[in-house]
Amino acid sequence: MKIIITKNYRELSKKAAEIVIKELQKRPKMVICFATGSTPLGLYRNLIEAVGEGKISFRDVISFNLDEYYPIKKNSKQSYYYFMFHNFFNKIDIKKQNINFLNGETKNPEKECKRYQKKLKKYKIDLQILGIGVNCHIGFNEPGSSKDSGTRLVKLEECTRKENSRFFKTKKDVPKMALTMGIKDILSAGKILLLASGKKKAKALKKMVEEPPNKDCPASFLKLHKNVIVIADKEAACLLKKQKFYAKRKL
């Protein structure tokens, strides 16, 4: 796990974009799995800018997304489908037919997860973008998720519903379930880029970095992967034991 600490959120987003841009310039036909949440928004804004400047293109990129609430209508403003199109896909040159999403409208979640899992097997993910939940979840792999978990329907923890209620009118409106790629699916990616910003992520980040892989902190399973880059801003990294060491390293 390579850890990079940045001064602030702006630098975090810039650094993350540099990494994605470099990868994409090397391999324009990449398979990228995207994450939602506020954290990757700065990265997405930088990527949109890079497309506008002609530095990169998503023309040949195949995309997947980590998760989706269940049940939820695609056109609901709170769906991750809406989030991705509104904040990113509509502003870059990705082809709609190359975008893969878990369908939160399905009547048969089990079948939908099987369909997605099959697609994931067909296209190996080159780059996985991740955020982290305050309870250490990645995607919607809540504490208790096993390292062998695949794409499935999960029950959301109350703290996750509370945390995500900022995107809804009230907490009651936050769906109780979600469809998510599993830890095993995430670990099968060639490279993983996890972003963490702000004080409220500090405890989760400390657990992820300093604890051995364990189910109570699903993000800690990322230690089982050989190519993980974590970019955290100073606030998110403030509880790390070795923060001075990480901060001194050249970016």
Among 16, 30, 32, 35, binds ligand GLP (CB under 6 A): 35
Is residue 96 left, alpha or beta, with left meaning phi > 0 and alpha meaning psi from -120 to 50? alpha
Task: Compute φ and ψ for 56, nearest 5 degrees.
Answer: -140, 165
Helix residue spans in the chain (DSSP H):
9-26, 41-52, 80-87, 109-122, 158-164, 183-187, 202-210, 243-248
- The Cα 20–Cα 13 span in angstroms is 11
CB of 172 to ligand GLP, least distance (A): 17
The answer to whether residue 56 forms part of the interface with ligand GLP (CB under 6 A) is no
Instruction: Name the one residue in this structure whose structure tokens are 């998720």.
Output: 145
* Burial class for 24, CB neighbours closer than 10 Å (0-12, 13-18, 19+): buried
CB of 21 to ligand GLP, least distance (A): 21
- The Cα 243–Cα 107 span in angstroms is 47
Which residues in 163-192 contact ligand GLP (CB under 6 A)? 164
Structure tokens of 123? 């296209």
CB of 28 to ligand GLP, least distance (A): 26
Helix residue spans in 80-149 (DSSP H):
80-87, 109-122
Peptide bond just before 71 cis, omega within 30 deg: yes
Structure tokens of 226? 């050989």
Q: Which of 68, 112, 142, 233 is catalytic?
A: 142
Active site (annotated) includes residue 142? yes
The answer to whether residue 132 forms part of the interface with ligand GLP (CB under 6 A) is yes
Residues in the interface with ligand GLP (CB under 6 A) total 14
Nearer CB in complex with ligand GLP: 57/117 = 117
The answer to whether residue 220 forms part of the interface with ligand GLP (CB under 6 A) is no
Among 8, 25, 38, 227, binds ligand GLP (CB under 6 A): 38
Task: Identify the CA nearest to 67 among candidates 191, 162, 186, 234.
Answer: 186
Active site (annotated) includes residue 110? no
The answer to whether residue 139 forms part of the interface with ligand GLP (CB under 6 A) is yes
The answer to whether residue 37 forms part of the interface with ligand GLP (CB under 6 A) is yes
Convert residues 89-128 into a mask of x (bound to ligand GLP by CB under 6 A) and - (unbound).
----------------------------------------
Task: Compute φ and ψ for 174, nearest 5 degrees.
Answer: -75, 125
Sole window of 33-41, 87-95, 204-212, 223-231 interacting with ligand GLP (rule: CB under 6 A): 33-41
- The Cα 175–Cα 192 span in angstroms is 28
Active site (annotated) includes residue 86? no
Active site (annotated) includes residue 67? yes
Residues tagged active-site: 67, 135, 137, 142
Binding footprint of ligand GLP on the chain (CB under 6 A)? 35-39, 66-67, 131-133, 139-140, 160, 164
